Amino acid sequence: MLETLRSPKWLVGHVIALTAVVAFVLLGLWQLRRLEERRAGNALISARLDQAPVPLADVLAETGGDPSALAYRPVTVTGTYLVEEEVRLSTRQYQGRPGHHLLTPLRYDDGRAIVVDRGWVPLELDDPPVAQAAPGPDGAEVTVSGFLVEGQATGGFGVDVPDGETVYLGVPDLDRLQQQVDAELAPAYVQLTAQDPAPPQAIPFPAEPPVLAEGNHLSYAGQWFLFAAVVAVGYPILLRRAIRDRPRRDELGLAPDPPVALLNRHR
């Protein structure tokens, strides 16, 4: 028996099996940590979204403008839309239909502005500013309610018209928009939930609230632990079969099967 276990081919098999079990267990534990991180993030988002809306200026003063501290804080802000600075956020779905979100800066207070994601419009309305989704009369003051969201970097993705202005973005890149908006932009944007007075048209449709799902981390962890169990149980069975067959193979003058060949033979 010991001679079989110590043979070079089986020693390699021992190392591979042990490495596989350890790797699978570590991957399962990593998925469980990812799940805990997701749950903690979801709990933080839920707690922030449950807060009462406060004026944007108060939140900026409280957080020091830190985007991660601003994320998902409900706010209100009163100002005037800079409709001519509007861009499309492409492509976004609404109830299964393709379209765009409209990103429109809102000037407030002392000349500063914040980008507002006003919601979804159909795909064919692709020429900002979208007249069919105007927020109201030009220069009219509105009060926007919503929650703050961190911007994202795009690495230059977007379509540039001859004067160098981006007309659409794949993600809300506030740094890219700042290059073409004269007003200083806030370090986060508002996902609109309500506007007073309401827009005169039926569109845009405000975006749906974030879905706080846990993802597939738990099922992935279970799969990795199952793989570890298969190797941990299956490999000793292969060893037992190899030891059991050793006398008969020696009698016939056959070389012992390596682990892979033995596995294939017993399938």
pLDDT tens per residue across span 193-219: 999 999 988 899 998 888 889 999 999
Query: 92 with 187, same domain?
Result: yes
Q: Are the C-beta atoms of residues 170 and 230 closer than 8 Å to each other? A: no
Query: 22 with 101, same domain?
Result: no
220-259: per-residue pLDDT in tens? 999 999 999 999 999 888 888 877 765 555 544 555 555 5
Query: 100 with 130, same domain?
Result: yes
27 bridge partner residues: none
Q: Are the C-beta atoms of residues 99 and 119 closer than 8 Å to each other? A: no
Mean of pLDDT values over 87-112? 92
What is the percent of the chain with per-residue pLDDT over 70, rounded to a whole number? 85
Structural domains counted in the chain: 2
Mean of pLDDT values over 139-168? 78
Distance CA 201, CA 166 (A): 25
Instruction: Output the six-digit token pair for 33.
Output: 């940590």
Strands 74-81, 54-55: parallel, antiparallel or unpaired by DSSP? parallel
Closest to 10 in 3D by CA, of 237, 260, 264, 231: 260
Task: Supply the mean pLDDT for the chain.
Answer: 86
Mean of pLDDT values over 128-132? 91
Query: 135 with 184, same domain?
Result: yes
Instruction: Output the six-digit token pair for 9.
Output: 């081919």
Query: 94 with 192, same domain?
Result: yes
Q: Is residue 55 part of a domain?
A: no
Q: What CA–CA distances, in Å, run from 1 to 53, 134, 247, 261? A: 73, 83, 10, 19
Q: Is residue 62 part of a domain?
A: no
Distance CA 76, CA 101 (A): 20
Q: Is the predicted pLDDT of residue 89 greater than 60, yes or no?
A: yes
Query: Domain of 116?
Result: 73-196
Distance CA 221, CA 32 (A): 6
Q: Is the predicted pLDDT of residue 161 greater than 90, yes or no?
A: no
Confidence of residue 40 (pLDDT cuts 50, 70, 90): very high
Q: Is residue 53 part of a domain?
A: no
Q: Which amino acid is at 138?
A: D
- Of 168, 196, 224, the last residue of a domain is 196
Query: 27 with 90, same domain?
Result: no
Distance CA 133, CA 94 (A): 15
Q: Is the predicted pLDDT of residue 263 greater than 50, yes or no?
A: no
Instruction: Output the six-digit token pair for 89.
Output: 């956020």
pLDDT at 8: 73
pLDDT at 260: 47
Task: Residue 141: count other Cβ atoms within 10 Å of its Cβ.
Answer: 15
CATH number at residue 192: 2.40.50
Q: Is residue 236 part of a domain?
A: yes
Q: Are the C-beta atoms of residues 161 and 139 closer than 8 Å to each other? A: no
Give me the count of residues in the chain: 267
